Amino acid sequence: MNSHYFKNIDNFFVAGINYKKSDASVRGLFAIGNDQYASILAAAAAEGIGELFVLSTCNRTEIYGIAHCPNQLVKLLCSQTAGDADTFRRSAYIKQGTEAVEHTYNVAAGLDSQILGDYEIVGQLKTAVRFAKEGGFVGAFTERLINSVLQASKNVKNNTELSGGTVSTAFAAVQYIRAQVPQCSQKKMLLVGTGKIGRNTCKNLVDYLGNKNITLINRTPEKAQELAGELGLQWAPVETLEEQLRAADIIIVATNAQQKTILRQHLEGAGEKLIIDLSIPYNVADDAQTLPNVRMVNVDELSKLKDETFRMRQAEVPKAKAIIAEGMEEFAEWCDMRRHVPLLKDLKAKLKALHEHPECPHHARLLDVQIQRVLNETAGRIKERNERGCQYIAALNEFISAQN
């Protein structure tokens, strides 16, 4: 297949699962870390796929790419996950062409987020694309699309209130604590995991609850120590996890561990506990979640919180969609013109041939500047009239024949 025509909008696919059709336990089967991502890219190269990236967050795992069919992308993704392709397909959505492009814009703008307008997805998208680009998997199509998507996302953020208020998964956890726990500022809290989500949650706990009675634990102790020093909190080594769990009133888990971190024996008979698990996959063992002294909340439950901020954001959706429509229109124009690149190259070659033709009268020969002008005019006519450019080549051939 001609590589130019292969790498166009019609062959752009998104295959993914998210919070809409799958719970966290299923999404956790398809979570992708850096090592798995690198393996996917290596396998893609062997399959002849040159443009793709993978977005994996607590709410979604999606593979975006240019392929002959979406099954190529699904196979690549599932080859490196705990879940298999059949399980993936049962909850998956497949989008192609313009629908896939629109989905990309919606994701970056926060329109497809579990918490409407959650802007954290932009940083995650940038990281995902940067990883792919470093591996050589971001070509002209993906580069142009992501630049347009990020610009539209920025315009949505700056010109609407879709991300107004302070709401994210991290802040939703704080909202829940404030609403459900009396005198929450006096409770002893434990945060397990100080990555990006844990860090944001911790700052929200301090800023919005005014609670400094928080102990931090992280597998890499230096990270916990650094954040504790920054916010004036306490930290503890991971070896004291059980002791800290039993002493805490409120436990927030935000790790990316593949194995369960919080076990039944850690909590049994240790008093009333509120546990908020922000991890994907869940890091609290199933039998620990059902203990009578444990009240368990996960990211799916947090997303159901509705307040005035969400109602305000919902009202901003039409404005956001209008901005996205403008971005998509410009991108579609670029894609349409890109389809004519072989035609314009052919036209240029014919003009060069005319310029160098030994029997062409001197006065009829085209200079380089004239050649470029003809190319620009032809491109402009194609854009304005949405007509195939072959008629201009035919006219040029007639002109060449007339000179002979």
The reply to whether 193 sits in an annotated binding site is yes
Catalytic residue among 58, 78, 184, 202: 58
The reply to whether 134 sits in an annotated binding site is no
Cβ 397 vs Cβ 355: under 8 Å:
no
- For 61, the token pair is 């795992």
The reply to whether 164 sits in an annotated binding site is no
The reply to whether 81 sits in an annotated binding site is no
CA angle 102, 94, 256 (to 5 degrees): 90
**Which residue in 213, 282, 210, 277 sits closest to 248, CA to CA?**
213
The Cα 175–Cα 186 span in angstroms is 16
**Which residue in 137, 228, 159 sits closest to 189, CA to CA?**
228
The reply to whether 195 sits in an annotated binding site is yes
The Cα 230–Cα 87 span in angstroms is 43
The reply to whether 166 sits in an annotated binding site is no
User: What one-character DSSP code corresponds to residue 323?
Assistant: H
Q: Which helix (H) or strand (E) is 18 found in, with range?
A: strand 12-18
- Classified as helix, coil or strand, 193 is coil
Q: Which helix (H) or strand (E) is 189 found in, with range?
A: strand 189-192
The reply to whether 210 sits in an annotated binding site is no
The reply to whether 61 sits in an annotated binding site is no
**Which residue in 372, 374, 382 sits closest to 333, CA to CA?**
382
The reply to whether 124 sits in an annotated binding site is yes
The reply to whether 136 sits in an annotated binding site is no
The reply to whether 113 sits in an annotated binding site is yes
The reply to whether 75 sits in an annotated binding site is no
Please classify residue 340 by burial: count the beta carbons closer than 10 Å to its beta carbon, then call 0-12 exposed, 13-18 middle and 19+ buried: middle
The reply to whether 271 sits in an annotated binding site is no
The reply to whether 196 sits in an annotated binding site is yes
Which strands sit side by side in the sheet containing 234-235, from one edge to the other? Answer: 234-235, 214-217, 189-192, 250-253, 273-277, 294-298
Residue partners of 404: CB distance under 8 A and separation at least 6: 359
The Cα 376–Cα 337 span in angstroms is 12
Residue partners of 214: CB distance under 8 A and separation at least 6: 189, 190, 191, 202, 205, 206, 231, 233, 234
The reply to whether 60 sits in an annotated binding site is yes
Give me the sign of the Cα torsion angle 9, 80, 27, 254: negative
- Classified as helix, coil or strand, 82 is coil
The Cα 305–Cα 331 span in angstroms is 36
Residue 184 catalytic? no
**Which residue in 107, 109, 81 sits closest to 93, CA to CA?**
107
Which residue positions form the known binding site? 57-60, 113, 118-120, 124, 193-198
Which residue positions form the known binding site for substrate? 57-60, 113, 118-120, 124
Which residue positions form the known binding site for NADP(+)? 193-198
Active site residues: 58
